Amino acid sequence: MQKTLLLLVVLLAVASADKWKLIWSDEFKDKSLDMNKWKYDLGKTGWGNNELEDYTNSPRNAYIKDGHLIIQANKEGNHITSARINTAGKFSVKYGRIEMRAKLPSGQGIWPAFWMLGDNIGKVGWPACGEIDIMEFVGKDPAHSHASLHAPGFDTHDMVGSSTGKGFSNDFHTYGVIWDHDNFKFYVDGKIFKTINKNSAHARSWPFNEHNFFILLNLAVGGNWPGNPDGSTRFPQQFIIDYVRVYKRA
């Protein structure tokens, strides 16, 4: 009897672990960006990566169309503008499933990202706050999506190839992470391609269990990793986001 009861408890626990409850989302169904959920990062400062773009709050760079958020990089003469938005001070989370469905731009020097930063960054700075890169994409390599973690004395990076062979700029795909106390599981279209375990990481610091993280979406142009645009790069470039959703285990 006791063994049967124990087995039932275990089975119920496993079943519950596989169920998720939506706790926050933006489906981008309004006429404009919901400023109760997002705010803009502004300026042309290189953003620590020698990027070229000037982030603005102009509707030319971030707007809603047909139920999608479009973050658009424009070239205006020798001036490049784009947008970077985040949920700092409006929404943050520790642990869960964080997911985006999007169609990515492509081209030399094009660098869209879906990522998270520790909400104590204003106090401790980077990388002490921690960084979770759920999706980074360098447009010169349209066949791969990248995921990584950053913390003091710890950097890990991996990438996944397009399952269709057509790259990630030809259609919408889902990009996400399942994050719990000990593990990060990064996935594309529901398939996990990278697991990072706290105990095997041997990190000097692990801020991912210490505080909440907020969400960022941006479309960078140029920088240390992708390099600058060249004659083959076409503008405007569009990062088209269908939704962003955050789930907790039920």
* Confidence grade of residue 17 (pLDDT, cut at 50, 70, 90): low
For residue range 83-114, what is the model confidence (pLDDT) as tens digits? Answer: 999 999 999 999 999 999 999 999 999 999 99
DSSP labels, the chain:
-HHHHHHHHHHHHHHHHT-EEEEEEE---SSS--TTT-EEE-B-S-TTTT---EE---TTTEEEETTEEEEEEEEETTEEEE-EEE-TTT--BSSEEEEEEEE---STTEEEEEEEEETTHHHH-TTTT-EEEEEE--TT-TTEEEEEEEETTEEEEEEEE-SSSS-SSSS-EEEEEEE-SSEEEEEETTEEEEEEEHHHH--S--GGGTS-EEEEEEEEES-TTT----TT--SSEEEEEEEEEEEEE-
Residues forming a β-bridge with 221: 110
- Choose the catalytic residue: 53, 99, 131, 210: 131
Q: How far apart are CA 97 and CA 246, in angstroms?
A: 6
**Percentage of the chain modeled with pLDDT above 70:** 91
For residue range 183-213, what is the model confidence (pLDDT) as tens digits? Answer: 999 999 999 999 999 988 877 889 999 999 9
Residue 131 has pLDDT above 70, yes or no: yes
Domains defined along the chain, listed by start: 21-249 (2.60.120.200)
Verdict on whether the full-model pTM lies above 0.85: yes
For residue range 147-185, what is the model confidence (pLDDT) as tens digits? Answer: 999 999 888 877 776 655 578 999 999 999 999 999 999
Averaged pLDDT score across all residues of the chain? 91
- Choose the catalytic residue: 51, 99, 136, 210: 136
Q: Is 53 a catalytic residue?
A: no
Q: How far apart are CA 185 and CA 149, in angstroms?
A: 11
With contact defined as beta carbons under 8 Å apart, do 227 and 111 qualify? no
Q: Is 51 a catalytic residue?
A: no
**According to the model, what pLDDT value does residue 164 have?**
58
Instruction: Classify each residue of 205-240 as buried b or exposed e, where b means 16 or more C-beta atoms within 10 Å of its C-beta.
Output: ebbbeebebbbbbbbbbbbeebeebeeebebebbbb
